[in-house]
């Protein structure tokens, strides 16, 4: 048995996303399954070292994850030659400095998005990694959600014909604090700490649109701070200086129009926390995180407008669920396994820091559009 042991410096994983999705459901899950199998008798085994600023949180998380090593000294972890990969799940405002230090230490880079607060900084990170010769990647987890995988398959099979439009609805009610504990950290609602849903979610919509429907060429965006005050983790009131909702329309290459509503101030009455409806000349599909339903042209009902009577058509009927054709795993874990294979076997991994910079570019353009109250073109972004 040949085992490739890969030391991973995991910085900022005491937060909700880092602890749950990246550490426990990805890296720990990979370790529990015996590593990533890459050949007969050959595996990749990640060996994480947890890094953060709070010793008590680190110690508790490390124990929960099976007795992992942890430290508050990032430089010491980066200096250890056994650690060859650096992963960053800190708040966005800390990411550029830490990733730069890891690149200078010769580590391969994998990090959350947004990769920076500005396009220039994000593109500079990619250039530093490329010039240093280190492998690099950015988390683009939604591409491995079963519902979106089914959408990709439908498109590749030609189910839609010519795609006309995409409509995305994302979000849920994030409690303000008090009687019900908030589901998101308070920094999300403070602009000075890198918060804001435009910066957060438009980075996601960039890679979803680019990979599934076509490159984004322009957009118009309107943000809003619907709830002006919330309670922080200590129950203290604070002013919300960042946007909690975003309403954006995108023009894609080829003329496809996409519109996404993103909000932490919306109550859900739809199939899932994220739903995408894709309409084409030959058929339509509605996908959630895991399920996907389709209605081909031949099965499309013919409604007529008459508000004086109840509709004779049940519009929720007439849709067929797309069956499972392949097993699905946690989306974060699936991409982690591909990145580990990229590091060890040099297999292709197109989701580089340049793709992360494209996400920041879209978010920055969204903020610019909001300020100008105008459409903003998106120039091609190269390295």
Per residue in 19-30, pLDDT (tens digit) is 999 999 999 999
High-pLDDT (> 90) share of the chain, %: 96
Looking at residue 319, what is its pLDDT? Answer: 97
Question: Does pLDDT of 287 surpass 90?
Answer: yes
- CATH class name, domain 2-141+331-352: alpha beta
> 100 near 11, Cβ under 8 Å?
no
Looking at residue 1, what is its pLDDT? Answer: 76
Residue 241 φ/ψ, nearest 5 degrees: -100, -5
Cα–Cα distance, 128 to 373 (Å, whole number): 34
> 138 near 123, Cβ under 8 Å?
no
> 334 near 363, Cβ under 8 Å?
no
CATH 3.40.50.150 is the classification of domain 142-326+361-376: no
Cα–Cα distance, 212 to 61 (Å, whole number): 36
Looking at residue 328, what is its pLDDT? Answer: 87
Q: What is the mean pLDDT of residues 113-141?
A: 97
Diameter over CA atoms, the chain? 74
Cα–Cα distance, 223 to 329 (Å, whole number): 34
> 272 near 286, Cβ under 8 Å?
no
Looking at residue 375, what is its pLDDT? Answer: 98
Looking at residue 125, what is its pLDDT? Answer: 97
Q: Which of 70, 68, 107, 66 is nearest to 87 (CA)?
A: 107
149-168 pLDDT per residue, tens:
999 999 999 999 999 999 99
What is the SS3 string spanning the chain?
CEEEEEEEEEECCCCHHHHHHHHHHHHHHHHHCCCEEEECCEEEEEEEEEECCCHHHHHHHHHHCCCCEEECCHHHHHHCCCEEEEEECCCHHHHHHHHHHHHHCCCEEEECCCCCCCHHHHHHHHHHHHHHCCCEEECCHHHHCHHHHHHHHHHHCCCCCCEEEEEEEEECECCCCCCCCCCCCHHHHCHHHCCCHHHHHHHHHHHHHHHHCCCEEEEEEEEECCCCEEECCCCCEEECCCCCEEEEEEEECCCCEEEEEEECECCCCCCCCEEEEEEECCEEEEECCCCEEEEEHHHCCCCCCCCCCCCCCCCCCCCEECCCCCCCCCHHHHHHHHHHHHHHHCCCCCCCHHHHHHHHHHHHHHHHHHHHCCCEECCCCCC
Residue 281 φ/ψ, nearest 5 degrees: -65, -25
pLDDT band at 71 (very low <50, low <70, confident <90, very high): very high
Domains of the chain, residue spans: 2-141+331-352, 142-326+361-376
pLDDT band at 374 (very low <50, low <70, confident <90, very high): very high
Looking at residue 325, what is its pLDDT? Answer: 85
Q: Which of 188, 201, 261, 170 is nearest to 230 (CA)?
A: 188
Cα–Cα distance, 309 to 226 (Å, whole number): 36
Looking at residue 327, what is its pLDDT? Answer: 84
Q: What is the mean pLDDT of residues 90-117?
A: 96
Question: Does pLDDT of 383 surpass 80?
Answer: no
220-241 pLDDT per residue, tens:
999 999 999 999 999 999 999 9
Cα–Cα distance, 12 to 51 (Å, whole number): 6
Instruction: Go through the chain and tell me how many residues it has.
Output: 383
Q: What is the mean pLDDT of the chain?
A: 96
């Amino acid at each position: 048995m040949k085992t490739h042991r890969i030391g991973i410096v995991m910085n900022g994983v005491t937060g909700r996303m880092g602890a749950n999705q990246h550490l426990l459901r990805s890296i720990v899950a990979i370790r529990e399954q015996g590593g990533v199998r890459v050949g007969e008798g050959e595996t990749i085994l990640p060996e994480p070292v947890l890094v953060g600023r709070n010793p008590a949180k680190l110690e508790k998380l490390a124990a929960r994850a099976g007795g992992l090593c942890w430290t508050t000294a990032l430089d010491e972890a980066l200096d250890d030659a056994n650690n060859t990969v650096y992963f960053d799940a800190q708040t966005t405002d800390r990411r550029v400095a830490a990733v730069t230090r890891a690149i200078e230490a010769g580590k391969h880079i994998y990090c959350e998005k947004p990769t920076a607060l500005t396009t220039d900084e994000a593109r500079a990170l990619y250039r530093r990694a490329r010039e240093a010769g280190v492998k690099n990647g950015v988390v683009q987890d939604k591409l491995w959600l079963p519902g979106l995988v089914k959408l990709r398959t439908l498109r590749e099979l030609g189910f839609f014909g010519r795609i006309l439009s995409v409509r995305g609805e994302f979000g849920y009610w994030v409690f303000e604090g008090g009687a019900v504990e908030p589901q998101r950290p308070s920094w999300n609602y403070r602009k000075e700490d890198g918060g804001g849903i435009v910066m957060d979610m438009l980075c996601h919509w960039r890679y979803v649109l680019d990979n599934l429907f076509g490159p984004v060429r322009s957009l118009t965006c309107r943000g809003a701070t619907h709830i002006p005050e919330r309670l922080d983790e200590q129950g203290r009131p604070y002013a919300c200086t960042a946007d909690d909702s975003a309403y954006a329309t995108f023009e894609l290459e080829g003329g496809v129009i996409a519109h996404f509503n993103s909000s932490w101030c919306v109550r859900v009455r739809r199939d899932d926390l994220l739903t995408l409806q894709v309409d084409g000349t030959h058929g339509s599909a509605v996908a959630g995180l895991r399920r996907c339903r389709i209605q081909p042209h031949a099965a499309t009902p013919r409604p007529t407008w008459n508000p004086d009577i109840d509709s004779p058509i049940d519009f929720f009927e007439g849709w067929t669920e797309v069956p499972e054709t392949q097993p699905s795993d946690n989306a974060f874990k699936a991409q982690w396994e591909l990145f580990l294979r990229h590091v060890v076997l040099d297999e292709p991994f197109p989701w580089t820091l340049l793709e992360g910079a494209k996400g920041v570019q879209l978010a920055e353009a969204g903020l610019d559009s909001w300020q100008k109250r105008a459409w903003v073109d998106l120039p091609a972004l190269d390295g």
